[in-house]
Chain A
Amino acid sequence: MVATDLRVAIIGAGIGGLSLVLALRERGLTAEVYEQAPELTEIGAAIALSANATREYARLGLLDELTAASTIPTELIYRQWRDGSRIAAHPVHNDNTYVSRFGAPYLGIHRADLQKSLSGAFGVKNVHLGCRLVNIIEDNNSVVVEFANGRVEHADIVVGADGVRSTVRRWVTGADDAVYSGTSAFRGIVPTDNLPSLPDPHAIQFWMGPDAHLLHYAIGGNGELVNFFAVVDTPRIWMHDSTVADVHEDVPVASFRGWHPAVTEMIRAAESPIRWGLFTVRPLLRWYRGRVVILGDAAHGMLPHHGQGANTSIEDAFALAAFLTESGRGDLETAFSRYQTMRRARTRKIQRSSLVTSSLLHLPDGPAALARNQKVARVPQDFGWIHEYDVQRALAALTPPVAARPGD
């Protein structure tokens, strides 16, 4: 294979960066990952993996390990904010509905457990912690990356998988393209036993009310924890440098005053009062410059309301690995350009759809909310296109096609 000597430096050891290592390795390439954090942990955060991502992990043989650390939701349920009545419900694990339709499972998992499985799958020796990128210098034959700790590395290409406030993106586009959405979130992980008012604790549920909603699903091997994400239409302007900000401990609870006890119990039980500003990345015309390319939130940061931020990063990683295997050190311009064309179209649609969903989840009681309730009854029909996506098939369907799987 021509590409095996391609030196790939990945900036960011999040889900996208780690998945890229696995995707490259599946095709016979290695990569080094540089992460600014001193260790691979993210407190109070879980993610839901959908079939468009888990089908890739399944092919790599990671599914048993991931499933053991995950909870599969029984149903997807939409509820009214105050009285908790069911507006719509769709089976997920019940009757094996989701797997039969999409060919791979839906998993609620703690981010730390996922990162552990992914980094364990290739051995941690390729992940370099405490490396904060400060400079990228490119010449005709290679690219040099410099880190704040004085470390300097040479590579053939650099992949920016460094999140919605990406440093690498700034190098690619010359601007800060992150935009505050006017919405922010409180999140937390609570033992299921501490939530006596919660109906269907092992379902994934949206509680929808005026100017706010709360989403939760269970995580852990036995559904012993509930991960929640509560979104409000404030503040109008984000005044902080970081995407997270401390708030007074009363603020989360006050934001959901009058809601169903299951909601207020959950928010009250969260350990630390932190507000997460929800940022998106404005549509970009170019995802690469020279030998530097971006993926995941860095390229298409989106609102989380379809649960697709991490899942689309995983799709990106497997697509990029395929294009790089074909190009090797040769025609990077073509590889990056084809990657960008394929992934920009897919992610732009999900980005737009998540934005529309945001306002739908926050309607006041009344005619608009009633119309919305009809809509959420059709969610499996309307949003199946997100989950049924198969990145390997999409690669094989391109003109010219890209080898769908190694060895095909």
Chain B
Amino acid sequence: MSHDETLAGITEVLGAVASINPSDVTPEKTLAELGLDSMTTLEVVVAAEDRFGLLIPDDESARFRTVGDLVHYIEQAAVPVP
């Protein structure tokens, strides 16, 4: 999966879970700027897990500050499905 595909997937999740307009989503945006509190962030993380088929530990997700942090975590954690 390419970087752009991962970002597009996250953008989709943010729209579905938190009703965030796709045009507002950039890698530099902080989750706080998008209006996400810690509980909504957790909803986004769980939906991203479903979308990408991997688990994101709670202590990792607590460190996510920007959209790019989430994208980066998914990229390094994703293992191609056989």
Contact = CB atoms under 8 A, between A and B. Distances in A.
17 contacts: A283-B55, A283-B57, A283-B58, A285-B49, A285-B54, A285-B55, A340-B50, A341-B47, A341-B50, A344-B46, A345-B17, A345-B47, A348-B42, A349-B42, A352-B42, A355-B58, A385-B39
B50 A352 contact: no
B35 to A, nearest CB: 16
A345 B46 contact: yes
Contacts of B49: 285
Nearest to A385: B39
B54 A348 contact: no
A135 B51 CA distance: 32
Given A349-B39, A385-B39, 12 more contacts: A284-B55, A285-B53, A285-B54, A340-B50, A341-B50, A344-B50, A345-B17, A345-B46, A348-B42, A348-B46, A349-B42, A349-B43
B43 to A, nearest CB: 5
Q: Interface residue tally of chain A, by bracket?
A: 10 to 19
SS class of chain A's interface: helix, strand, loop or mixed?
A: helix
Contact of A352 (B47, B55, B58): B58
A322 B10 CA distance: 29
Interface in B6-46: 17, 39, 42-43, 46
Contacts of A348: 42, 46
B43 A345 contact: yes
Nearest to A283: B55
Contacts of B46: 344-345, 348
A348 B41 CA distance: 12
Contacts of B47: 341, 345
B8 to A, nearest CB: 19
Contacts of B39: 349, 353, 385
Interface in A275-293: 283-285
A355 B50 CA distance: 22
Contacts of A344: 46, 50
A353 B46 CA distance: 15
The 3 closest A-B pairs by CB, nearest first: A345-B46, A348-B46, A285-B55
Interface string B40-82: 0011001101100111011000000000000000000000000
Contacts of B54: 285
B60 to A, nearest CB: 11
